[in-house]
Amino acid sequence: MTESASLYRDDGSLWLEGVALETLAERFGTPLYVYSRAIIEDRYRSFAHAFAGSPGSLSCYAVKANSTLAVLGVLARLGAGFDIVSGGELQRVLKAGGEASRVVFSGVGKSAGDIAMALDAGILCFNIESAAELERIAAIAGARGRVAPISVRVNPDVDAQSHPYISTGLRENKFGVDMAEARALYRRAATLGSVRVSGIDCHIGSQITSLAPFVDAMARVLALVDELADAGIVLEHIDAGGGLGVVYRDETPPATAEYARAVIAQLGGRKLRLLTEPGRAIVAPAGVLLTRVEYLKRNGERGFAVVDAGMNDLLRPALYGAWMGIEPVRPRTGALETWDIVGPVCESADFLGKERLMTLAEGDLLAVRGAGAYSYAMSSNYNSRCRAAEVMVDGDAAFLVRERECFADLVRGERLLPAGG
């Protein structure tokens, strides 16, 4: 099923798969995140199929994009791999039915506890991001009588041409190590009995809409692979990372198949297992945030539609200046006006969209498209706001996959000081 076939209008109202979004808002309230199982499955299968020509390839879903158990469970049933950045994400993957042997562990700040947990679970590989991390993993593995499979995350100094906050492949970024340090790390790892050199990793950023950065990065990393092989350090896999962009407005990212062809072509005749780490490209198009207009107001000539979803529910516009499509679930007739769609949070940065042309009335239901990635996963309780509920649509059925938080959830674990203290 295609994305356009899953999110559509019928009788003037917006539907996701076989369910009217209006009915979901009435049943579960707002703000409300809604995901399409069909789109998630379709997007993951597009990666699995596109990379099928590379023997042993594995698409490891980037859990940070959306770590909801129901989403992970859908992907686990498809045989997905997983890219994690914390012990909590590992526990989520395992709870959702994912296999530890298909997990790669990225991230610059792995704690000793997280490393031990991953070793005991038997993950596929640690993506090493510093010399200090290599030594810590070697020590922990040695103390536990284990051998840790590792790859080095190389920073190839390639500009992903995306927002600076989601660019990770330049020297100025905190991620990975440069080529010179990578050589030294591989030489050091080869001397350690408690680690096994398995591969090499590279991830240059997110929301990339051109093939050139991917091709450039792969070429630089593969040159290092060949150099290591000449020195007797033969790698088993290359992790090309993720970062393939999606359409939020008018972007023109490469198709998954086109991206895969470009990456596979770089391998030439090298006998390397190919791993990728797609996240946003799988789940962003599958998600919609439903929010209701509370008030309409004007400050001079500026029109504000105050909705019940805020930056604590959807941070991307405030954090990145990200543009996300917003439209009435059931458009009304009348004069079009320009509105800033803003939330109730006490910050001037609390907006979902600015200068949107639409006809609105208080009580109208709005849908924010492309909200499947880096949306609920980045939500918070700022202003003591309860986080939204989440629903998964599967055909004409809808399942509540996360309950809306209540005040008791907000204060769970908190304690007042004793009287007189």
Q: Quick: pLDDT tens for 317-350.
A: 999 999 999 999 999 999 999 999 999 999 999 9
- At residue 47, the pLDDT reads 97
DSSP string, 51-70: TTTSTT-EEEEEGGG---HH
State whether residue 384 is helix, strand or coil. Answer: helix
What is the C-alpha to C-alpha distance for residues 365 and 323, in angstroms, rounded to an integer? Answer: 19
- At residue 236, the pLDDT reads 97
The pair of structure tokens assigned to 6 is 């899953």
- At residue 334, the pLDDT reads 94
- At residue 174, the pLDDT reads 59
Kindly report, residue by residue over 179-228, the tens digit of the pLDDT. Answer: 889 999 999 999 999 999 999 999 888 889 999 989 988 999 999 999 99
- At residue 204, the pLDDT reads 85
pLDDT-derived band of residue 171, with 50, 70 and 90 as boundaries? low
Q: Is 346 labeled as catalytic in the residue annotation?
A: yes
The pair of structure tokens assigned to 294 is 């509370």
Kindly report, residue by residue over 229-245, the tens digit of the pLDDT. Answer: 999 999 999 999 999 99
CA torsion angle for 132, 138, 140, 141 (degrees, to 10)? Answer: 160
Q: Report the DSSP pairing between strands 287-299 and 103-105.
A: unpaired
DSSP 8-state class, residue 369: S
Give which of 120, 55, 126 is closest to 84, Cα–Cα. 126
Strand ranges of the sheet holding 7-10, from the earlier edge strand across to the other edge: 7-10, 13-16, 19-20
330: number of CA atoms within 13 Å, CB side?
13
268: exposed, middle or buried (Cβ count in 10 Å: 0-12, 13-18, 19+): exposed
For the chain, domains (ranges, CATH) are: 3-36+284-411 (2.40.37.10), 106-278 (3.20.20.10)
Question: Mean pLDDT, to the nearest integer, of 53-82?
Answer: 97
The pair of structure tokens assigned to 11 is 């009788």
Residue 354 phi, psi dihedral angles, 5° rounding: -120, 145
Question: Mean pLDDT, to the nearest integer, of 293-304?
Answer: 96
What is the C-alpha to C-alpha distance for residues 125 and 147, in angstroms, rounded to an integer? Answer: 11
Contact (Cβ atoms closer than 8 angstroms) between residue 131 and residue 188: yes
Given the residues 60, 125, 202, 346, the one annotated as active site: 346
- Give the gyration radius of the chain's Cα atoms: 23
- At residue 269, the pLDDT reads 86
The pair of structure tokens assigned to 150 is 């590792």
Question: Mean pLDDT, to the nearest integer, of 404-417?
Answer: 97
- The three state secondary structure string of 254-299 is CCHHHHHHHHHHHHCCCCCEEEECCCHHHHHHHEEEEEEEEEEEEE
pTM of the model: 0.94
The residue type at 67: S
The residue type at 338: T
Mean pLDDT, the chain, whole residue set: 93
Question: Mean pLDDT, to the nearest integer, of 354-366?
Answer: 98
